[in-house]
């Protein structure tokens, strides 16, 4: 008797800001997956993750990333208020729950997905002796690893290296783009704190998994991703405020050492900004002063 294929339905949420859909790096991959899923294709011979739905969460002031034609399984949401990744992930959890989908793939507009990505994730899940709450690929910016990473006692985020053992769950963090999450677990962490909007949402999620001693697995796939926060020249003031707020909130969770080192980290950042973008240095100083007044 022929064995029925075992599929794991997957919802992908891709967060977009001020981009048309054809400028979103992962869209060709996702479009192919949606078409293959709708047509059946060669899915009868496959096991593992099946791209069931794609949520396009468009944070642009005016709708830009809506597909030009109806696509089965594609859901488009325009959020002119720009709820960031926090709002997008919350909506994705709700849709997954309503649709009975247990796994979520998080993406942003600057992540490239390689061929075989879902197959590699499926293999890692099948080989795991426990059910992980997250599956993490290796993420590169150029030739440099940016994720997964470990968090030091003073709050520094240090990317792992390939030769490091992969079950470092006690210190592990990652960027969320490219990561797969077990939806019921992620839903249980909601709501994301109001102090987090865009930056440090991913590190907060992995911190919550850590303090609950929930397992994650790093799998054998490599992605290219562009970290916009590393490009100081193009950083705007609203994004800088988000980074500063998110960092301050997150480091407060880590303990005394991280809080003691934080002022020195801010001072070093002001000096670096002063050499490159004096307006960012001034904005950071104003942010520090307002924060200090708020504590009085």
Among 75-79, 177-181, 188-192, 210-214, the minimum mean pLDDT is found in 210-214
- In this model, does residue 2 exceed pLDDT 50? no
Residue where a domain stops, chosen among 181, 201, 229: 229
Domain count, the chain: 2
pLDDT at 3: 43
pLDDT at 10: 96
pLDDT in tens, 36-71: 887 665 443 456 899 999 999 999 999 999 998 899
Predicted structure pTM score: 0.91
Residue 159 and residue 98 in one domain: yes
Among 20-34, 170-184, 216-230, 272-286, the minimum mean pLDDT is found in 216-230
Could you tell me which residues come within 8 angstroms of residue 48 by beta carbon, excluding any fewer than 6 positions away? 6, 7, 8, 118, 119, 121, 122, 123, 125, 126
Residue whose C-alpha is closest to residue 53's, from 99, 88, 110? 99
- In this model, does residue 166 exceed pLDDT 70? no
Residue 142 and residue 40 in one domain: yes
Residue where a domain stops, chosen among 208, 229, 250: 229
CATH number at residue 156: 3.90.550.10
pLDDT at 24: 96
Could you tell me which residues come within 8 angstroms of residue 147 by beta carbon, excluding any fewer than 6 positions away? 136, 138, 139, 159, 173, 174, 175, 178, 225
Residue 52 and residue 168 in one domain: yes
Q: Is the peptide bond before 191 cis (omega within 30 degrees of 0)?
A: yes
Residue 106 lies inside a defined structural domain of this protein: yes
Could you tell me which residues come within 8 angstroms of residue 53 by beta carbon, excluding any fewer than 6 positions away? 9, 10, 11, 12, 73, 74, 75, 95, 99, 101
pLDDT in tens, 71-85: 999 999 999 999 999
Structural domain that includes position 240: 232-295
pLDDT at 43: 45
| Phi–psi pair at 104, nearest 5 degrees | -120, 140
Residue 91 and residue 166 in one domain: yes
Q: Are 86 and 197 in contact (CB under 8 A)?
A: yes
Residue 1 lies inside a defined structural domain of this protein: no
Span 279-295, mean pLDDT? 89
Please report, rounded to a whole number, the percentage of residues in the chain having pLDDT higher than 90. Answer: 77
Residue 31 and residue 44 in one domain: yes
pLDDT in tens, 87-134: 999 999 999 999 999 999 999 999 999 999 999 999 999 998 889 999
The structure tokens listed for 127 are: 């080989």
pLDDT at 296: 53
Separation of alpha carbons 273 and 267, rounded Å: 10
Residue 157 and residue 179 in one domain: yes
Residue 219 and residue 244 in one domain: no
Q: Is the peptide bond before 148 cis (omega within 30 degrees of 0)?
A: yes
2-11, 33-42, 145-154, 169-178: which is most confident: 145-154
Residue 2 lies inside a defined structural domain of this protein: no
The structure tokens listed for 137 are: 């690929």
């Amino acid at each position: 008797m022929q064995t029925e294929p075992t599929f794991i339905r997957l919802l992908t949420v891709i967060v977009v800001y001020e981009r048309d859909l054809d400028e979103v790096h992962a869209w060709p991959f996702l479009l192919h997956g949606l078409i293959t899923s709708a047509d059946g294709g060669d899915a009868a011979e496959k096991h593992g993750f099946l791209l069931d739905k794609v949520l396009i969460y468009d944070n642009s002031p005016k709708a830009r990333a809506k597909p030009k034609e109806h696509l089965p399984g594609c859901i488009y949401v325009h959020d002119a208020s720009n709820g960031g990744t926090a709002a997008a992930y919350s909506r994705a959890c709700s849709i997954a729950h309503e649709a009975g989908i247990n796994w979520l793939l998080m993406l942003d507009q600057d992540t490239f997905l390689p061929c075989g990505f879902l197959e590699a994730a499926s293999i890692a899940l099948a080989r795991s002796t426990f059910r992980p709450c997250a599956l993490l690929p290796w993420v590169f910016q150029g030739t440099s690893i940016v994720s997964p990473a470990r968090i030091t006692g003073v709050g520094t985020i240090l990317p792992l290296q390939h030769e490091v053992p992969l079950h470092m769950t006690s210190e592990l963090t990652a960027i969320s783009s490219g990561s797969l999450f077990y939806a019921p677990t992620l839903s249980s962490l909601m709501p994301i704190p109001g102090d987090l909007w865009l930056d440090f949402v991913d590190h907060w999620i992995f911190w919550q998994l850590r303090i609950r001693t929930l397992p994650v697995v790093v799998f054998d796939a490599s992605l290219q991703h562009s970290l916009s926060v590393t490009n100081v020249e193009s950083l705007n003031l609203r994004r800088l405020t988000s980074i500063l707020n998110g960092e301050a909130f997150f480091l407060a969770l880590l303990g005394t050492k991280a809080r003691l080192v934080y002022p020195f980290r801010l001072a070093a950042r002001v000096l670096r900004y002063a050499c490159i973008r004096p307006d960012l240095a001034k904005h950071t100083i104003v942010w520090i002063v307002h924060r200090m007044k708020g504590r009085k």
